[in-house]
Structure 1
Amino acid sequence: MPSISVQDFANHFHDDAVVILDTRDHSSFAEYHLDNAISMPATSVPNRFGELAKDKTYFVLSHSGRRSEVLANFLVNKGYNAVHVIGGMRAYRQAFVAVA
């Protein structure tokens, strides 16, 4: 299963073939999420993965990257193009979001 650093992940935001799949819970997603991200909490992925298109690439995010690694692997095994974002949203925010 492919993985990508948050720095390289940031280069793909405007690619129409890419979808950001945020697997954090709804409250974490509501607190902060990336534009164009879709919310699919980790616990719902096994039941909802059929909603995803196989012609897209999914960058899978979780809070710290542990769950997203498992979920990206799950999606790859189901025939989807999924990429694990190393470090998850925590690493992304540390790298790119200024803390006031």
Structure 2
Amino acid sequence: MKRMTAQEVQEYIKNNKDVSIIDVRETEEVKAGKIPGSVNIPLGLIEFRMHDIDKSQEHIMVCRSGSRSGMATNILVNHGYNAINMDGGMIDWDGPAE
């Protein structure tokens, strides 16, 4: 599985305008703060919402600690998507949040 640290994701966002970030936390968790521009698709809905995810684009998967996003990354990769897990999740994120 491809992985990036929170710091690497911050740098990646600075250098790339079209970054797809999918936050797989539950809606209530996301209300506490999310990476600007990220889309919330809770882990339990990933397989049902794959039609909403552009298969031609790279996606960075995010959760609280990196565990659920790792599961989501594996699900997407197994279905032919290009997905990267953000290790450490929002716990390690010190960039901007909305």
Percent identity over the alignment? 26
**Normalising to structure 1: TM-score of the pair?**
0.87
Partner in structure 1 of residue 21 of structure 2: 20
Q: CA deviation at 1:72?
A: 0.3
Partner in structure 1 of residue 58 of structure 2: 57
State the alpha-carbon separation in 2 of the partners of residues 49 and 89 from structure 1: 23
Q: Where does the alignment leave 5 or more consecutive residues of structure 1 unmatched?
A: none
Alignment of 1:84-99 (within 5 A): 84-92=85-93, 96=94
Q: 1:19 to 1:13 in 2, by over 3 A?
A: same
Partner in structure 1 of residue 6 of structure 2: 6
Paired AA for residue 37 in structure 2? N
Which protein is richer in helix relative to its size? 1
State the alpha-carbon separation in 2 of the partners of residues 9 and 78 from structure 1: 23
Kindly tell me the number of residue pairs found equivalent between the two proteins: 94
**Normalising to structure 2: TM-score of the pair?**
0.88
Partner in structure 2 of residue 33 of structure 1: 34
CA-to-aligned-CA distance 1:33-78 (integer Å, 9 cap, x gap): 1111000011111111121001211100011111111110110111
CA-to-aligned-CA distance 1:72-94 (integer Å, 9 cap, x gap): 011011111100000111111xx
Partner in structure 1 of residue 49 of structure 2: 48
State the alpha-carbon separation in 2 of the partners of residues 74 and 7 from structure 1: 24
State the alpha-carbon separation in 2 of the partners of residues 54 and 17 from structure 1: 14
